[in-house]
Amino acid sequence: MSTQQLPVVVIGAGPAGLAAAAHLVDRGIEPLVLEAGPTAGAAVREWSHVRLFSTWGEVVDPAAEKLLAPTGWTRPDPATYPSGGDWAELYLRPLAGVLGERVRTGATVTGVSRAGRDRIVDAGREQQPFVVHVSHADGPEERVFARAVIDASGTWTTPSPAGGSGLPALGEKAAADRLTYRVPDLKDPAVRDRYAGRRTAVIGSGASAFTALAHLADLAKSDDGTGTEGLWILRRGVSGSTFGGGAADQLPARGALGLAAKAAVDEGHAEVVTGFRTEAIERADDGRLVLVGEDGRRLDTVDEVIVLTGFRPDLSFLEELRLGLDERLQAPVALAPLIDPNQHSCGTVYPHGHRELSHPEQGVYLVGMKSYGRAPTFLAMTGYEQVRSVAAAIAGDLDAADRVELTLPETGVCGGAGPFDTPDTQEADGGCCAAPEPQLVRIGAPAAVGAAGEQAAAGGCCGS
């Protein structure tokens, strides 16, 4: 069998992975989707309680919709906002169903290489197919050959730690029983009981942190949540853009999320600690936790910590491939300058495709959230445009692969950002990131959100 007759292996059956499979099928190329979880969209189902700030009209891939149409499937109201559970159940599950045996669940990819060639061997490398090692949930291992590999495995399984250095804070692992790295589902009675009436620290500055703060505030106002307190820990300072773009955000639901977090602070349900980089997490005598900053500050004890400091890609199973990754973001080198929060404004990242996603190892692509490495603010539509272009490139249709077929809403509305992590950065030219001296503050009544000086995207260039 020639290499061209082999399938394209797609790693991950999430939104980007299933969309990639749909585009490959549309071009007459057989995909093989390998999903580590027990079902398609397994990662999305883990945040099923969280509502997207993109509408149904923005989270359904056109090729996937085309594939689903003969089954009688119709897209939900394009103007409404799905939850993660809605997205998984009403779209990803039927899409995986129509793809049928092309999607294998319980299949964890443990390694990818060139057949008979480790990463140091040049001779005949590009003529060899890819070899993918797979471990199945029911025990056996398998070796699969592929003409190309699309890694859409995302970053959900590798959240960033609480430690401000990028390493786990001292004591972070020992305190694991009181930490979570996801937005908790406070509709679950057991989870609700864990946080009700307790003091919880939320570390992070993006949309996930906004969600957690808003949910904790709702709990505090409920009959069973009396005494619930939030402590919002920011590595930078508070500025006019801390809570996002508000009414000026071109993704209105995201703007509303920032306003909800602001209300949580303004109404006294959460205090804000600024300029705090966690160095250690210690256990007090009563079992509660003490967060210690790099500057020596010790915060009052908390019962729980919600760490929402972003995610990072798992590259361990790709180590035998020759990837070209930016040394900071761990994103493809041609894509990194477009999304780098050290330089990137909160404006639109223009649609991009196979050229920005290519690597020295021809035929391998990182797409979806995985392609952004450690950078924040990824939109589903961006992933769909990526896989459309990549599928066209694999099919040899470079005209289509190079053509932009997507117009994105602006992912933010501030004009620009200063250096991502410069302590003395001041707001200028609509910049997003200001960091005054560390202080404990309780924010007072806000000015009208959306004013010229307060335009930023929740979870945008000022992500933690």
Q: 281-318 pLDDT, tens per residue?
A: 999 999 999 999 999 999 999 999 999 999 999 999 99
Is 413's pLDDT higher than 80?
no
CA-CA-CA-CA torsion sign (410, 412, 413, 416)? negative
- The pLDDT confidence band at residue 11, using thresholds 50, 70 and 90, is very high
**DSSP letters spanning 34-63:** EESSSSTTHHHHTTTTSBPSS-GGGSS-HH
- The pLDDT confidence band at residue 406, using thresholds 50, 70 and 90, is confident
- The whole-number pLDDT of residue 139 equals 85
Averaged pLDDT, 13-42: 98
- The whole-number pLDDT of residue 17 equals 98
Round the average pLDDT of the chain to a whole number and report it.
Answer: 85
Q: Is 265 helix (H, G, I), strand (E, B) or coil?
A: helix
The angle formed by the CA atoms of residues 352, 55 and 411, to the nearest 5 degrees, is 45
Q: Which residues fall within 8 angstroms of residue 147, CB to CB, at 6 or more apart?
A: 3, 4, 5, 6, 7, 8, 129, 130, 363, 394
Distance CA 24, CA 388 (A): 8
- Check if the beta carbon of residue 129 is closer than 8 Å to that of residue 145: yes
Range with lowest mean pLDDT among 113-122, 184-193, 260-269, 274-283: 260-269
241: buried, middle or exposed (CB in 10 Å: 19+, 13-18, 0-12)? buried
- Check if the beta carbon of residue 339 is closer than 8 Å to that of residue 375: yes
Averaged pLDDT, 145-173: 97
Q: How many CA atoms lie within 13 A of 219 on its CB side?
A: 28
SS3 content of the chain, % helix, strand, coil (to 5): 30, 20, 55
Distance CA 452, CA 425 (A): 19
Distance CA 451, CA 453 (A): 6
- Check if the beta carbon of residue 373 is closer than 8 Å to that of residue 329: yes
Distance CA 365, CA 331 (A): 11
What is the DSSP secondary structure assignment for residue 387, as one 8-state letter?
H
Distance CA 178, CA 284 (A): 13
Question: What is the per-residue pLDDT across 172-214, written as a single tens digit (0 to 9) for each?
Answer: 999 999 999 999 999 999 999 999 999 999 999 888 899 999 9
Nearest to 376 by CA among 334, 329, 337: 329
Averaged pLDDT, 451-463: 28
- The pLDDT confidence band at residue 259, using thresholds 50, 70 and 90, is confident
Distance CA 21, CA 26 (A): 9
Helix axes 15-26, 380-394, angle to 10 degrees: 30
Sheet of 130-136: strand order equals 107-114, 130-136, 141-146
- Which has more pLDDT, 351 or 125? 125
Is 390's pLDDT higher than 60?
yes
Nearest to 44 by CA among 73, 80, 13, 20: 13
The angle formed by the CA atoms of residues 225, 46 and 241, to the nearest 5 degrees, is 65
Distance CA 329, CA 340 (A): 7
Question: What is the per-residue pLDDT across 310-352, written as a single tens digit (0 to 9) for each?
Answer: 999 999 999 999 999 999 999 999 999 988 877 654 445 778 9
Distance CA 154, CA 136 (A): 19
Query: Model pTM?
Result: 0.85
Is 97's pLDDT higher than 70?
yes
- The whole-number pLDDT of residue 405 equals 85
Helices marked H in 59-155 — which ranges?
Answer: 62-68, 84-87, 93-99
Count how many residues are written for the chain. 464
- The whole-number pLDDT of residue 403 equals 92
Distance CA 100, CA 120 (A): 37
- The whole-number pLDDT of residue 262 equals 85
Question: What is the per-residue pLDDT across 218-251, written as a single tens digit (0 to 9) for each?
Answer: 999 999 999 999 999 999 876 555 666 555 555 5
- The whole-number pLDDT of residue 459 equals 31
